Amino acid sequence: MHPKTIHSPNRPPVVIAVILFAIAAITYWDASHMTARAAYGMNASAASYFVALLFAVLGIGHLIAAFKPSDIEVGAADWRAVGWVGLALCGLIGSIWVGGGFIIGSTLLFALTARAFGRKAFLIDLCLGAGIGLAVFLLFNKLLTLALPQGPLERLF
């Protein structure tokens, strides 16, 4: 019989879990302060509560993974890549917040996330991101008639 040993947590999943819980809390707070309500179907606050719940579930999953003993040796986290992804998300949020719109935001998200994965062709990735962002915008806005945040480029379409 083996004595129980105290397992030290795997640090990167704990950090990610804390970030996910913070995002869940902010999303929940934002949903609780929404004033617009839908006359039918799921309104924006209900969808935001659902997203907050998903973030919390992901945080719990990361905590479970962090404390679960494993025979697999855990490699070091690539914090530079995590930083690039964080910058990509901030680029998307910032673009929408200042009125740049969905296409510019998703362009930044694509190019900076590609950089996080080690790709160095930033200008090409900006062009690819713009094309994908435009296609997604047209799909949602024109075909599905769902509104995405509009900026100067979206107003052209």
Nearest Cα to 24, choosing from 64, 54, 60? 54
Query: By the 8 A CB rule, do 66 and 9 touch?
Result: yes
Find the angle CA(21)-CA(28)-CA(150) to the nearest 5 degrees. 105
* pTM of the shown model: 0.62
**pLDDT computed for residue 32 by the predictor:** 86
- DSSP letter (8 states) at residue 1: -
The mean pLDDT value for 22-35 works out to 88
pLDDT at 146 (0 to 100): 76
pLDDT of residue 79: 85
DSSP tag of 141: I
For residues 156 and 81, the model is more confident at 81
CB 79 within 8 A of CB 71: no
- Those residues whose C-beta lies under 8 Å from the C-beta of residue 76, and which sit 6 or more positions away, are none
Torsion sign, CA atoms 90, 96, 98, 100: positive
What CA–CA distance (Å, rounded) separates 156 from 102? 13
| Domain extents in the chain | 1-75, 78-157
